[in-house]
Structure 1
Amino acid sequence: MKNLISCDKPTIAALADRLKRANSHAEYQRIQCVLIRATLGSTAAQIAQLLGWSTATVHVIHSRWAKEGDALFDLRGRGGRHHQHLSPAEEGRLLAPFTTKAQAGGLLHVSEIKQAMEEKVGSAVASSTVYRMLDRHGWRKVIPRPRHPKADMQAQDAFKKTPHSGTPRGRAPG
């Protein structure tokens, strides 16, 4: 097996220092994987058993260490908006006229926002995309209340119990 990791003291000292400054568990384990090989000279199978990894993963980490060096430990976060139609700033500019309309007390329809977005993007956009965009910008669905706040519920119940004059139930017995 070829030696991909140099066992010199400056490399080991740099790895040990980096281990102390690790920001995440994944970064810590990657540094350990290289450091164990550099200090103890353990095999990939032994390192895999210590870290709870597969032997193939240890081989990949050692190979990448030989090619990339310290860049191997700079892990990018997962996730992100990789398939976006508009950037968040562009979405904000698209929603600006609708925001002013909403602040003036007007009702908004998602179909109008969808149409504006389709014109901006230049292709068809699903309604769910528009709803997710509104959610990202802190919009929420406001539904009209079921009854007027000044409604007298007792008067409404009494009205429901009185028969209407033009119905068979409302006629006087003859």
Structure 2
Amino acid sequence: MKQLIVGDEATVTRLAERLKRASNHSEYQRIQCVLIRAALGSSAAQIAQLLGWSTTTVHVLHSRWAKEGDAIFAVQARGGRHHQHLSTEQEQALLAPFFERAQAGDMFKVAEIQQAYQEQVGKTVAPSTIYRLLDRHGWRKLAPRPRHAKSKAAAEAA
């Protein structure tokens, strides 16, 4: 059988140093997977049992490490705004006049922000898009109470 991971001292030392600098759990486990094989010569089944992975996952990772090297340890973060209309800076610029009005104590409706957003983007958007935009920038819905919490309707009528 072909030896995918050579357990020479330089490789083990390099992997051990990289393990100390791992930035997240996923990267840490990937390094462990290769390091255990290089340092101890454990089988894929033993490594899978130690890490709580399947044997196939260990085989795939070892094979990828033999082909790609340390590049397999860089795990890409998931998520992100892949379908954004405006960048965060553009959104801040759009909200700036509304922020000034809010600082002055003025009230406005989300429909006004939606109208400005649609003019800048050039197409219609749902109100939920605007509510998510406001949430991203730390805004929250404030509305005046219709009446005071401790008011007495009978006293007001008199």
TM-score for the superposition, normalised by structure 2: 0.86
**Consecutive unaligned residues in structure 1, runs of 5 or more:** 160-174
Q: Which residue of 2 aligns with 1:118?
A: 118
1:140 aligns with 2:136: no
Give the partner amino acid of 1:29.
Q
Question: Residue 7 in 1 paired to residue 7 in 2?
Answer: yes
- Unaligned runs of 5+ residues in structure 2 are none
Q: 1:50-103 CA distances to partner (integer Å, 9 max, x unpaired)? A: 211001111221122123322222223333222222111110011112222223
Using CA pairs below 8 Å that are at least 6 residues apart, which structure has the higher relative contact order? 2
State the alpha-carbon separation in 1 of the partners of residues 119 and 63 from structure 2. Answer: 49
Match of 1:95, as an amino acid? L
Supply the AA of the counterpart residue of 2:113.
Answer: I
Q: In the TM superposition, what is the alpha-carbon distance from 1:37 to its structure 2 partner?
A: 1.3
Q: Supply the distance in 1 between the matched residues of 2:119 and 2:5 (Cα, whole angstroms).
A: 56
Match for 1:138: what amino acid? G
Higher gyration radius (CA): 1
Q: Could you tell me how far 1:152 is from its partner in structure 2?
A: 7.8
Deviation at residue 114 of structure 1 after TM alignment: 0.9
User: How far apart are residue 112 of structure 1 and its match?
Assistant: 1.5
Amino acid at match of 2:100: T
TM-score by length of 1: 0.79
Q: Assess, with a 3 A threshold, how the Cα gap between structure 1 residues 143 and 41 changes in structure 2: closer, same or farther.
A: same
Residue 39 (structure 1) shift: 2.1
Superposed CA offset, 1:114-173 (max 9, x none): 121112222221111100111111212111122369x7866415x2xxxxxxxxxxxxxx
Aligned partner letter, 1:59: H
Q: How many residues are treated as equivalent by the alignment?
A: 157
State the identity %. 66
CA distance in 2, matches of 1:122, 1:59: 50
Matched, 1:128 2:128: yes
Which consecutive aligned stretches of 4+ in structure 1 deviate over 3 angstroms post-superposition? 151-155
Instruction: Verify: 1:105 aligned to 2:105, yes or no.
Output: yes
Report Cα offsets for 1:21-56 as digits up to 9, x if no partner.
323322221111101111222222221122110011
Aligned CA-pair RMSD: 2.2
Partner amino acid, structure 1, of 2:13: A
Aligned to 1:66: 66
> Partner residue of 1:49?
49
Distance of 1:152 and 1:27 partners within structure 2: 62
